[in-house]
Amino acid sequence: MRNPTATRLLFEMSESGRGTVVFPESDVPDVSGVPVPGVEHLAAGLLPLPELAEPDVVRHFVNLSTLNMSVDSHFYPLGSCTMKYNPKRHERLARLPQAVASHPYQQESQIQGLLSVLYELQGMLAEISGLPGVSLHPAAGAQGELTALLTAAAYFRHRGEQRTRVLFPASAHGTNPASAALAGFECVQLSGGRDGFVDLSELRAQLDERAAVFMVTNPNTLGLFEKDIATIAAMLHEVGGLVYIDGANMNAILGRTRPGDFGGDMMHYNVHKTFTGPHGAGGPGAGPIAVRDFLAPFLPAPVVTFDAARNWYSLMVPEHSIGRMRTFFGNVGILLRGYCYIRTLGGRGLREASDCAVLNANYLLSQVRDFLDVPHGNRCMHEFVASAKRLKEQTGVTAMDIAKRLLDYGFHAPTVYFPLVVEEALMMEPTETESLATLDAFAAALRQICSEPAELVKGAPHSTAVCRPDEVNAARKPVLCWSAEC
């Protein structure tokens, strides 16, 4: 049961002079032989941080945590985010001493075990993608995109080609155009066909020697497998361009098909999604990329190599590497969780996970399509996008209203208003780690909501601690930091 006094802001709980003592007295004598920082460098006094007692801090965060919905506590069908169960075993294994306490500048001889795991993971990700060159370096999916685009750019530069354009469909994640712009490319958005697929004639009209990369999510953000992906890839390759697969939806196709087999030249994985690193209230992720062999010499540094003759793992900079995208090796803590997941499922288990993810999504689709429109067909991969457009026209109830009302029924909301190509979009991804009973209960709640009085739904949520924060005013006069005056 929630304790509201414990969720006052930390700053309001502070008592100056509390005098927390955390650390021991110094055990070294003062010395005089080394230079001392001048007064111009020294702090004026004690920092204005709150002074709290540990029991209060514990009660505070325990109570705050109860204000969240999470995978551990609720069904969380947030489309595109693959909110599957996060196995507890991974948390313990990721805390093994060499994983948790190794410093990035440690001698290689001391981290052979860790490097062997990372090397093995590189090979696993190459096999799962069908793309042999793997870099575990990127910090998250969006950084994987940027890394791959810069890798492609270095490849083109090496060949003396000046390619300036990155293309993507309107249904793309926002990170695709944002990454392309950050990499200095001109962004070309394709509107796509009415059926939700890439329109081949539209694509063809945009393809020439300026085309660098076509970025496409497959299955796409409507939950459909791009049926013409092989043709699309051939079209790109014909003009000398490359195909980038946004791997956000890999959970649909593990062991069924591989980006490298359907024409992709590069891709990123979202380890925190597909391989169930926990989402951590917004991160961290890990965004390894996999590329074709001719792109591998351009991958960012460092990669793990193995010298079988010496039985020795080491870090290596590829021949024409684009350089670093971040400090140190990568998000090892998350990569290791992904490794544990792949090891415990094996090839067959990964395929079964995808099979069940697709089965669950199709089942949920079958249970909602008689009361909610699903504009792009009766079948899907691991997720689908419903539309509340008709309901909105009839009763005024929007996708956002439905999302908020679902919270009252104890379900986290689907992704709403994405992809942009569907009006009043509700994007649902149940994942494979949910039972039939949960899916039935969720579908029943949705059905109920669609027939509830509009004012009840528009007033939702009714059961949460707050209801519909004023975002407009928040943006107009941002309050981003507590101060004693406010």
Partner 1 sequence: MAYLFDTPEQRQRMLAAIGAASVDELFQQIPVSLQLGRELALPGAVSELELEQDLQRRLGQAGGGGVCFLGGGVYDHYIPAVVDELTSRGEFYTAYTPYQAEASQGTLQAFYEYQTLISQLSGMEVSNASLYEGGTAVSEAVFMAMRVNGRDGRVVVAGSLHPEYRQVLRTYFSRLGTEIVEVPAVDGVVSVESCRAALTAETTAVVLQQPNFFGCLEDIGGLTAAAHAAGALAILAFDPISPGLLKRPGDYGVDIAVAEGQPLGTPLQFGGPLLGVFTCRSEYVRKMPGRLIGRTVDRRGRECFVLNLQAREQHIRRDKATSNICTNQGLLALRATVFLSVVGPRGLRQMAELSHAKARYAAERLTSLPGVVLKFERAFFREFVLETPRPATEVLRLLSDRGFNVGPELSRFGGSLGAGLERCFLVALTEKRTRAEIDALVSALGDVLGS
Q: Which of residues 320-339 bind partner 1 (CB under 8 A)?
A: 322-334
Which secondary structure element, helix H or strand E, spans residue 355, and what is its range?
helix 332-368
Cis-peptide, bond into residue 50, ω within 30° of zero: no
Q: Taking CB under 8 A as the criterion, which residues in 250-289 touch partner 1?
A: 253-258, 261-262, 270, 272, 278-286
Q: What are phi and psi of 371, to 5 degrees?
A: -125, -10
Task: Name which of 184 and 396 has its Cβ closer to partner 1.
Answer: 184
Task: Name which of 60 and 392 has its Cβ closer to partner 1.
Answer: 60
Q: What would the two tokens of residue 422 be?
A: 């569907």
Which secondary structure element, helix H or strand E, spans residue 245, and what is its range?
strand 242-247
**Piece of 175-183, 290-298, 388-396, 446-454 that binds partner 1 (CB under 8 A):** 175-183
Contacts (Cβ under 8 Å, ≥6 apart) of 302: 137, 315, 316, 317, 329
Distance CA 76, CA 82 (A): 9
Under rule CB under 8 A, residue 127 binds partner 1: yes
Distance CA 335, CA 129 (A): 16
Contacts (Cβ under 8 Å, ≥6 apart) of 35: none
Q: What is the closest distance, in whole angstroms, from the C-beta atom of residue 306 to partner 1 in the complex?
A: 14
DSSP 413: P
Cis-peptide, bond into residue 177, ω within 30° of zero: no
| Position among 131, 134, 140, 445 found at the interface with partner 1 (CB under 8 A) | 140
**Piece of 134-142, 200-208, 391-399, 449-457 that binds partner 1 (CB under 8 A):** 134-142
Q: How many of the other CB atoms lie within 10 Å of CB of 91?
A: 12
Q: For residue 111, give the 3-state DSSP assignment.
A: coil
Length of the chain: 486
Task: Name which of 307 and 394 has its Cβ closer to partner 1.
Answer: 307
Task: Name which of 32 and 311 has its Cβ closer to partner 1.
Answer: 32
Q: Taking CB under 8 A as the criterion, which residues in 454-473 touch partner 1?
A: 461, 464-471, 473
Cis-peptide, bond into residue 453, ω within 30° of zero: no
Q: For residue 67, give the 3-state DSSP assignment.
A: coil
Nearest to 260 by CA among 236, 244, 238: 244
| Position among 77, 119, 122, 128 found at the interface with partner 1 (CB under 8 A) | 128
Amino acid identity of residue 116, one-letter, is S
When computed from its CA atoms, the radius of gyration of the chain, rounded to whole angstroms, is 25
| Position among 132, 161, 178, 409 found at the interface with partner 1 (CB under 8 A) | 178
The interface mask with partner 1, positions 416-455, x = CB under 8 A, is --x-------------xx-xx-------------------
Under rule CB under 8 A, residue 175 binds partner 1: yes
Q: What is the closest distance, in whole angstroms, from the C-beta atom of residue 429 to partner 1 in the complex?
A: 12
Task: Name which of 261 and 393 has its Cβ closer to partner 1.
Answer: 261
Q: Could you tell me which residues are beta bridge partners of residue 269?
A: 247
Quote the crossing angle between the two packed helices 112-129 and 332-368, to the nearest 10°.
Answer: 30
| Position among 131, 134, 148, 153 found at the interface with partner 1 (CB under 8 A) | 153
Q: Taking CB under 8 A as the criterion, which residues in 366-385 touch partner 1?
A: 366-367, 378-379, 381
Size of the site for partner 1 (CB under 8 A): 202
Under rule CB under 8 A, residue 308 binds partner 1: no
Under rule CB under 8 A, residue 482 binds partner 1: yes
Q: Taking CB under 8 A as the criterion, which residues in 193-222 touch partner 1?
A: none
Residue appearing with tokens 């509830």: 452
| Position among 203, 250, 358, 421 found at the interface with partner 1 (CB under 8 A) | 358
Distance CA 159, CA 178 (A): 26
Q: What is the closest distance, in whole angstroms, from the C-beta atom of residue 395 to partner 1 in the complex?
A: 20
Under rule CB under 8 A, residue 349 binds partner 1: yes
Q: Taking CB under 8 A as the criterion, which residues in 71-110 touch partner 1?
A: 71-74, 76, 78, 81, 83-87, 89, 91-93, 96-107, 109-110
Distance CA 67, CA 50 (A): 23
Task: Name which of 207 and 364 has its Cβ closer to partner 1.
Answer: 364
Under rule CB under 8 A, residue 6 binds partner 1: no
The interface mask with partner 1, positions 385-414, x = CB under 8 A, is ------------------xx--x----xx-
